[in-house]
Chains A and B, each alone.
Chain A
């Protein structure tokens, strides 16, 4: 799932400073699960902004709403009136949602309230980790289910590098060395011989290096 983290409130205050009436718009899917932009976070942020605004003697008003997904036209169309009434929309959705709003409401200032950070999961409640880089060419079948693109700081395909120590990455002693993990798991699966094969250079054109990507399913088009 897409994981995001709310921007520091000082940054948000700067973004919304020129606008009197701001709609704080949450999203009920990924950012809710990341505890960054769901209905509750919207309420907390709006409350904090009201306090800050009142402290400064300003007259900002903050309205609140949350849609099921901001990355779906129908859902963001449904709140057209609320958006119309606002001077600006502070979207707590991931970058996809923010852009969808901007495309659908091109005459409205749409501002991002979170930093979309990575594709990942909660390994423990409250601890989110990156797991996938959406490289467009998944090699997890060759690396015992551990992604060297997302989890190796140098995205080695023939790792580990010389900086792997006690199973941890030289970049961050709390980060597992992905290649140690791959080595261990290939061992468990009896597939260590996979490491003899040289994985050829990656086709980065399938990643965003090839330009913004698109999937078209002719069989689904209405």
Chain B
């Protein structure tokens, strides 16, 4: 792949909902685009930039980006999370964990971070890069917080966490584990100029119902923590009932299953459509045999001689929680029944263990018993002490904690430099509008790549990882579903002569005229590139593909194709089809040395100028490989490409070089097209014509 750097498109607003929805505002669009082109290193660099834990996120992020992905309006969202995983897996570690991230001048100030979970690790990473002396305290033996002690191994293997945390150790951060801080004031007196409290929500909460304290009534966080700490819990033959319907409840249920439980059920207030857990996690749980009992409130744990027999429930119609925290619901007492079980595990909520905070209340708490902070700066009520993550929000996503870690690091840095921490926080970006029906009607429907998963029967008996991850080819295909929201064509209104070509040619009916010149409506553009190529005034440029990069690629291709004694053939290959559904690298490696390809996302982007440039640089033959009629990703990019090829063929005949040196091939992405065979026909023709008489001085 080339050294090409796509412009940091996230500098131009409005931004797509995926970027805005990500609490860390990861340039999702940028890294997905890089994968679509097959540049996994570049994708890694972009994904890593705002996120020191990309591998972990690639496996277990709650991916709010996918929830807001505009492709939801078309068919299914882009598999953004899985793509981050592939990029991280294919990243060459010799290129460094954080390519391109800087390290600042060493500073004298010491900063304490309490809690080595995602929030704490992120703040530590940022502050260490800024040059501060950072010490991270954690009460557990291993670093990671919830990553180690809350997320089951079948979702997040230990190796992943360790691989991710290892590079952080090289930043000069001091890690102190098995140390529970109980005196924050002492820390501040002890030379730490600032502190970040990122203790997470480690305490599971039980509901106050009769018999909740019996021995066979467990609670979510403690249960998961024990399993993570290696405690042997044998649930063989047990009938487990998990109270609660959220993500943690699912983790608890599936963990219980893997510990040998004969039957695991879940019950919750919500209905099956409003159950708060992620849909994909609910599906996996159901596949594994977990049964769900919705629309219930729990009145009492039924016991006999101290042994749990079941939970008395009553059916409800639940509408949500009121601001006070109380449930807004109607109960139907006549439906009272008992769900049988012999082991109850509460998964109805958790909160931070704030017992370590100063007794004088100088670090104030909210009514919900979380740490009170200024939402912009994350400053607590004690100067120099900041807090973030679950300790503040109650329960959030890993990526929320990472974002909080960044925010805290900025605040602490400002604080230490005597600046207002609020002034160093970026403003929230402006978001793109919705896709219009008209645009959606033109977008090609593409099925989402299935995530390969471990076989259900095998996986429910062990803690082996369930999701196996995409292959390289799957990843490229998955990435090519991205609509490139907000990073498409831009019109230079100085050059635009309102010839209306772009308005007429766009397959998605996007460009309009505004005050006499064309405008490509940024919310709707699908970045197909047709308008840019067809514009007679060269007034349109593409955010992600530009002439200069293409010229470099063509130059490189011609140079590499020459000097083999065979005709130098340069091909423009559409990534949607030209490699026949295979890994382009594999196909390219099998091509003869005299055939070099330049990749494009859609043959519609191949400008006549590129074809001429290849010949100008001395190519003996040139081809364009596009999709079959009717299956172009952009409806008719391949048709226009064919028209351009025909036009240039005529030109080449007129100047005497010979139009037969140029050919268009239409290939099927389904057929494992052997590009060698296709190109061989052109090579033979070119041989007949002889080497190009173009002499380069």
Contact = CB atoms under 8 A, between A and B. Distances in A.
Direct contact of A and B (CB under 8 A): yes
Interface of A: 8-10, 13, 28-29, 32-33, 35, 38-41, 43-44, 47-52, 54-55, 57, 59, 66, 125
Interface string B618-658: 00000000000000000000000000000000011011110
A134 B535 CA distance: 29
19 contacts: A9-B651, A39-B495, A39-B536, A39-B537, A39-B538, A40-B538, A43-B609, A44-B651, A47-B609, A47-B612, A51-B694, A52-B656, A54-B694, A54-B695, A54-B697, A55-B656, A55-B657, A55-B695, A125-B501
Contacts of B654: 8-10
Contacts of A29: 497
Contacts of A44: 608-609, 612, 651
Contacts of B657: 51-52, 55
A19 B608 CA distance: 26
B576 interface: no
Contacts of B608: 44
Interface string B182-222: 00000000000000000000000000000000000000000
Given A9-B651, A29-B497, A43-B609, A51 B616 contact: yes
Given A9-B654, A57-B695, A33 B612 contact: no
B694 A28 contact: no
Contacts of B499: 32-33
B492 to A, nearest CB: 11
Contact of B616 (A10, A13, A50, A59): A50
A1 to B, nearest CB: 10
Closest 3 CB pairs of A and B: A47-B612, A38-B536, A39-B538
Contacts of A43: 538, 609
Nearest to B503: A125
Contacts of A47: 609, 612-613, 616
A208 B694 CA distance: 47
Nearest to B643: A126
A40 B655 contact: no
A125 B538 contact: no
B693 interface: yes
A43 B654 CA distance: 17
Nearest to A54: B694
Interface of B: 495, 497, 499-501, 504-505, 535-538, 608-609, 612-613, 615-616, 651-652, 654-657, 692-697
Contacts of A8: 654
Contact of A38 (B505, B537, B692): B537
B497 A32 contact: yes
A40 B535 contact: yes
Contacts of A51: 612, 615-616, 652, 655, 657, 694
Nearest to A59: B697
B548 to A, nearest CB: 13
A196 B695 CA distance: 70
B655 A48 contact: yes
A89 B508 CA distance: 40
A77 to B, nearest CB: 18
Nearest to B498: A33
A144 B667 CA distance: 52
Nearest to B615: A51
Contacts of B615: 51
A43 B547 CA distance: 12
Contacts of B538: 38-40, 43
Contact of B536 (A9, A33, A54): A33
Given A9-B655, A48-B655, A28 B497 contact: yes
Given A48-B612, A51-B612, A51-B694, A32 B536 contact: yes
B180 to A, nearest CB: 69
Given A9-B651, A33-B499, A54-B695, A40 B609 contact: yes
A55 B537 contact: no
Contacts of B500: 125
Max chain A Cβ within 10 angstroms of own Cβ: one of B499, B693, B697: B499
A28 B612 contact: no
Max chain B Cβ within 10 angstroms of own Cβ: one of A10, A33, A39, A54: A54
Given A55-B657, A57-B695, A28 B495 contact: yes
A40 B536 CA distance: 5
A48 B695 CA distance: 14
Nearest to A39: B538
A94 to B, nearest CB: 14
Max chain B Cβ within 10 angstroms of own Cβ: one of A29, A51, A57: A51
A55 B693 contact: yes
Contacts of A48: 612, 651, 655
B695 A41 contact: no
A13 B656 CA distance: 12
Nearest to B692: A55
A125 B530 CA distance: 15
A4 to B, nearest CB: 12
A9 B612 CA distance: 15
A49 B652 CA distance: 10
Given A28-B537, A47-B609, A48-B612, 16 more contacts: A8-B654, A9-B655, A28-B497, A32-B537, A38-B538, A40-B537, A41-B536, A43-B538, A44-B608, A51-B652, A52-B656, A55-B655, A55-B656, A55-B693, A59-B697, A125-B500
